[in-house]
Amino acid sequence: MKIFTRTSVFALLILCPAISLKAQSAEGIKAKAQLFDGLLVAGYLDHGAFINCTGPAIKFSKKPYCVMLGLLPGLRIKEDQAPAEVPKNSVITPSLGFGLTASFKHLALQLPLYYNSKTATKDGVWKAGLGLGYKF
């Protein structure tokens, strides 16, 4: 009988913010795996906008600078350019991106990548954006 399945271990790691992996180099740069960092970012991407925060990431920090590489859950805001006779998608859609976020004190700069899925008329492609935000 299995005590832990892959799903239960994954859920435990995601839902338990007390778990933290830390490392420190000789130059004082700290590397840390974390679930959330209190950033709110808004920006431009693919003829639309996005609003997101930082999710699970690897954070490299040396006071007052910080660089994170990880997932970016949020909302994408984009009007569907479909013809009038075709049903249109919602203007605001939930999304999950991946990218790099750099912060200095309370100012944050983000370079997200989002995947636009394949449709009947277009191939799926990754789109890069640029955002500016605030670190709480």
Report the domain count for the chain: 1
Range of the domain at 66: 15-135
The pTM assigned to this predicted structure is: 0.73
* Residue 1 buriedness (CB in 10 A; 0-12 / 13-18 / 19+): exposed
**88 lies in a domain?**
yes
Residue 97 belongs to what H/E stretch?
A: strand 92-104
The answer to whether position 87 is within a domain reads yes
At 12, which helix (H) or strand (E)? helix 6-15
Residues 6+ apart with CB under 8 A from 66: 37, 59, 60, 102, 103, 104, 135
Q: Answer whether 57's CB lies under 8 Å from 110's CB.
A: no
Asked if residue 63 lies in contact with residue 49, where contact means CB atoms within 8 angstroms, the answer is: no
In order along its 136 residues, the chain shows pLDDT tens digits of: 455 455 554 444 444 443 445 555 557 788 888 888 889 999 999 889 999 998 899 999 988 899 999 999 999 998 877 777 888 778 999 999 999 999 999 999 999 999 888 777 778 899 999 999 999 8
Whether residue 69 lies inside any domain: the answer is yes
Tell me 30's DSSP state: E
Is residue 2 a part of any domain in this protein?
no
Q: Is 1 within the bounds of a domain? A: no
